[in-house]
Amino acid sequence: MSDEQIPSEPFQDEVNAQIVNISQGGAGHVDAQTVSIRQGGAQSIASASADITQGGAFLVDADQATVNQSGAAIVVAEEATIDHGAAGLVVASTVNAKDSRIGLLLAGSVEGRPDIGVDARVAAIIGASALLTLFILRRLFRS
C-alpha cells in the first residue's frame, strides 16, 4: 500500500493505500488506514480513520468516523462524530453529534443532542408491534 491522492477529475473505482486524500473527486471503494475526503465522495470506505468534510459516502466502516457538514447513508464505527451533517443509519459504541440528523441510531453512548428519527428503544417498540400485528393477523386469517 502507498499514499494516494485522488485529483478532482477522475473517478477511481477502487483505491487501496495507507493514506487516501480525495479532494473534489470520487471513488468507488476505498480501503486505507486513513481516509480524508474534502468536497468529494466515495461509495464505500473501510478504514481505521475516515474524515469526510463537505462530501458524502454511502457506507463508512471505520474505527473512528467523522462526518462534518456531510452526509452518509450508513456509518459503522467504534467512535462516530457527526457535526452539522446527516446519516441514515449510525451503529457505533460512542456517537458525538452536534446539529445533526440521524435516521436510525444504535449506539452505546451518545454525546450531544442529535435529531434522531428512530433510536434503539423506538426500533424495539416498532419491531415488537410488527410481530404482535403479524401474530394477530395470522390468527384471524388462519382458515
**Per-residue pLDDT at 11 exceeds 80:** no
In sequence order, what are the residues at sequence separation of 6 or more whose Cβ sits closer than 8 angstroms to the Cβ of residue 85? Answer: 67, 68, 69, 70, 71, 72, 100, 101
The domain total for the chain is 1
Interval 102-126 mean pLDDT:
86
Taking only the tens place, the pLDDT of each residue in 79-104 is 999 999 999 999 999 999 999 999 98
143 falls in which pLDDT band (50, 70, 90)? Answer: low
**Per-residue pLDDT at 35 exceeds 70:** yes
pLDDT, position 68:
96
Q: What's the alpha-carbon Rg for the chain, to the nearest Å?
A: 18
In sequence order, what are the residues at sequence separation of 6 or more whose Cβ sits closer than 8 angstroms to the Cβ of residue 18? Answer: 1, 2, 3, 32, 33, 34
pTM of the model: 0.78
User: What is the domain extent for residue 136?
Assistant: 4-140
Residue 42's closest CA among 25, 31, 27, 54? 27
pLDDT, position 113:
86
